[in-house]
């Protein structure tokens, strides 16, 4: 069965209007980076010379960060202590655009805090120190959590439970949340920690990693088929629609209650840090499903988001732009990046090429309907230089030159078609009737036009030659003309 086309931009737009209610164990993540060059004289342990540190919102808070960075709105409910770490988390959440936090305070427990000491040179974790009290919330705190959660369900498009087994998601809190969400017709995703999946009964989707799934089902879970076979009983126990088992570099396998299992390979990437990859998967699934994506699309979004996350250090969040670059084909992105409109962007690119000693070529035209004659000129132009810039007449300019019924395609469409050609390195739209101002700004080493022009007829030839450049005329391919193609399409030429 062919993979459906993922319209990323349409999905991203839909995500921007969705709200995810995220509930779970928040923690303060600190990363201390330094160099290790000696062993302590006090004990046989390495000494790390700290050079810098980073603070991140971790645990379920990292899920919230990813929901917001992927473009959705997140309402987050969690539990903190009455301490400095809790105050820092409150402040950090308040500074995160797209996150509205409802934090319940429990003075009897410390805010969960994890400090990781990392070798800068080897990018390896040397030690982790935890401050936490991993016990269930008391009955009074449970009640306050439930009272904080229930009013938010009506606002949410989907509910996400991120369980780190630090005390927020007790059986009672989970039960009230899932029951209220189901009554309101809202789907629930659970990233489980408890091996007793009966407490998540009624959730839409469970997202264990392979180790958690294997321990819960007492299965090897080493192939998509073995995962599918082991899922049948636990899906009935949990009364869920599907189970997604994440398997790191081996990808992820979705087993729906009805239908065939779907396996999505991992996106190839150089792994720098796997911290928080599961958070990113849960967030990407939540925002995709909230926006109306099907299972296949949501899985592909989650797999790509995980690939971006593990390529970063620390508990990283993933932006829409980063996810877009990971999902869309390289050719699509390359074409988009070739089209520039701001003069500043053109200047930056020119400076970079000239600093590298590259010969910059220039040609121009309307390129209304691209045909083999155009391709020949553009290919020959690129062969005469190291980087080719194409000046493209704007729609208004084409109308003045060709008549009110032209162009056939608007300037954006024409620019994208040109940018998709390997011979073209940059496309710049200009408003004037001639590209003389653009040529003055670029001062190309090579100016190229079709052989139906003479050297003296080429706009800007004097400017280019005065700067030491050359004019190249390319023999045109006979029998091809945009105007003739337009007339033929309109039935004006037999």
pLDDT digits (tens, 9 = 90+) for 42-98: 999 899 999 999 889 999 999 999 999 999 999 999 999 999 999 999 999 999 999
The mean pLDDT of 111-132, rounded to a whole number, is: 88
* pLDDT band at residue 3 using 50, 70 and 90 as cut-offs: very low
* pLDDT band at residue 455 using 50, 70 and 90 as cut-offs: confident
pLDDT score at 483 = 59
Backbone angles phi, psi at 35, to 5 degrees: -110, 145
pLDDT score at 58 = 93
Backbone angles phi, psi at 30, to 5 degrees: -120, 135
- 1-10, 394-403, 459-468: least confident range: 1-10
pLDDT score at 368 = 84
Mark whether 222 is an active-site residue. no
Mean pLDDT for all residues in the chain: 90
Q: What is the pLDDT of residues 329-378, one digit of tens each?
A: 666 667 778 898 778 889 989 998 988 889 999 999 999 888 888 888 89
pLDDT score at 333 = 65
**Rg of the chain (C-alpha set):** 29
Those residues with Cβ within 8 angstroms of residue 59's Cβ, 6 or more apart along the chain or in another chain:
24, 25, 26, 27, 29, 112, 162, 164, 166, 279
C-alpha–C-alpha distance, residues 73 and 106, integer Å: 26
Residue with tokens 């496309």: 427
C-alpha–C-alpha distance, residues 185 and 154, integer Å: 10
pLDDT score at 4 = 46
Residue 74: exposure state from Cβ atoms within 10 A (0-12, 13-18, ≥19): buried
pLDDT score at 2 = 39
* pLDDT band at residue 480 using 50, 70 and 90 as cut-offs: low
pLDDT score at 474 = 86
- Here the tokens at position 343 are 């003069």
| In the predicted structure, residue 1 carries a pLDDT above the cut 50 | no
- 166-170, 220-224, 330-334, 345-349: least confident range: 330-334
**DSSP summary character for residue 312:** S
The mean pLDDT of 266-281, rounded to a whole number, is: 79
pLDDT score at 120 = 81
Domains in the chain, please, with CATH?
A: 8-328 (3.40.1190.20), 333-489 (3.40.50.620)
The mean pLDDT of 460-476, rounded to a whole number, is: 91
| In the predicted structure, residue 457 carries a pLDDT above the cut 70 | yes
Beta strand pairing call for 124-131 and 113-119:
antiparallel
Q: What is the pLDDT of residues 125-161, one digit of tens each?
A: 889 999 999 999 999 999 999 999 999 999 999 999 9
| In the predicted structure, residue 258 carries a pLDDT above the cut 90 | no
pLDDT score at 126 = 87
CB 149 within 8 A of CB 23: yes
- 205-219, 221-235, 303-317, 451-465: least confident range: 303-317
C-alpha–C-alpha distance, residues 44 and 37, integer Å: 13
pLDDT score at 488 = 61
CB neighbours (10 Å) of residue 474? 21
CB 79 within 8 A of CB 110: no
Q: What is the pTM of this model?
A: 0.75
| In the predicted structure, residue 6 carries a pLDDT above the cut 80 | no
Alpha-helical (H) ranges within 154-276 are: 171-183, 210-217, 224-238
The mean pLDDT of 27-40, rounded to a whole number, is: 92
The mean pLDDT of 391-413, rounded to a whole number, is: 90
- Here the tokens at position 334 are 């390359």
Selected catalytic residue, list 157, 163, 279, 425: 279
Q: What percent of the chain has pLDDT over 70?
A: 92
| In the predicted structure, residue 173 carries a pLDDT above the cut 70 | yes
pLDDT score at 189 = 98
């Amino acid at each position: 069965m062919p993979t459906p086309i993922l319209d990323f931009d349409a999905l991203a737009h839909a995500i921007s209007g969705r709200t995810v209610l995220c509930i779970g164990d928040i923690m303060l993540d600190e990363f201390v980076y330094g160099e290790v060059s000696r062993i302590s004289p006090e004990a046989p342990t390495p000494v790390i010379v700290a050079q810098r540190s980073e603070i991140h919102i971790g645990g379920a808070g990292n899920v919230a960060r990813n929901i917001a960075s992927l473009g959705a709105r997140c309402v987050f409910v969690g539990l903190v202590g009455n301490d400095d770490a809790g105050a820092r988390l409150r402040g950090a959440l308040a500074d995160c655009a797209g996150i509205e936090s409802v934090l319940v305070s429990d003075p009897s427990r410390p805010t969960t805090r994890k400090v990781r000491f990392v070798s800068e040179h080897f990018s390896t974790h040397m030690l982790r120190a935890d401050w936490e009290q991993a016990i269930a919330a008391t009955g009074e705190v449970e009640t306050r959590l439930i009272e904080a959660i229930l009013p938010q369900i009506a606002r949410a498009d989907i509910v996400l439970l991120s369980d780190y087994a630090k005390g927020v998601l007790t059986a009672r809190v989970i039960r009230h949340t899932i029951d209220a969400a189901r009554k309101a017709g809202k789907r629930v995703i659970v990233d489980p920690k408890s091996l007793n999946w009966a407490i998540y009964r009624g959730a839409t989707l469970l997202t264990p990693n392979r180790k958690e799934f294997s321990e819960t089902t007492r299965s090897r879970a080493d192939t998509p088929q073995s995962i599918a076979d082991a899922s049948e009983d636990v899906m009935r126990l949990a009364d869920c629609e599907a189970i997604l088992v994440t398997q790191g570099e081996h990808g992820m396998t979705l087993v729906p209650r009805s239908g065939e299992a779907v396996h999505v390979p991992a996106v190839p990437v150089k792994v720098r840090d796997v911290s928080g990859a599961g958070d990113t998967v849960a967030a990407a699934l939540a925002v995709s499903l909230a926006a109306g994506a099907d299972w296949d699309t949501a899985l592909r979004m989650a797999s790509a988001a995980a690939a971006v996350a593990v390529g970063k250090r620390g508990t990283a969040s993933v932006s829409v732009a980063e996810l877009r670059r990971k999902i869309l084909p390289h050719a699509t992105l390359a074409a988009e990046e070739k089209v520039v409109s701001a003069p500043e962007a053109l200047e930056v690119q020119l400076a970079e090429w000239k600093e590298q000693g590259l010969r910059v070529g220039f040609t121009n035209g309307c390129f209304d309907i691209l045909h083999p004659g155009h391709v020949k000129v553009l290919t020959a132009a690129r062969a005469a230089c190291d980087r080719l810039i194409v000046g493209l007449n704007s729609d208004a300019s084409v109308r003045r030159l060709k008549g009110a019924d032209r162009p056939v395609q608007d300037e954006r469409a024409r620019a994208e078609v040109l940018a998709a050609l390997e011979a073209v390195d940059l496309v710049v739209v200009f408003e004037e009737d001639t590209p003389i101002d653009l040529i003055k700004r670029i001062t190309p080493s090579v100016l190229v036009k079709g052989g139906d022009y003479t050297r003296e007829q080429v706009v800007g030839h004097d400017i280019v030659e005065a700067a030491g450049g050359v004019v190249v005329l390319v023999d045109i391919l006979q029998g091809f003309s945009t105007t003739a193609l337009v007339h033929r399409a309109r039935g004006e030429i037999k």
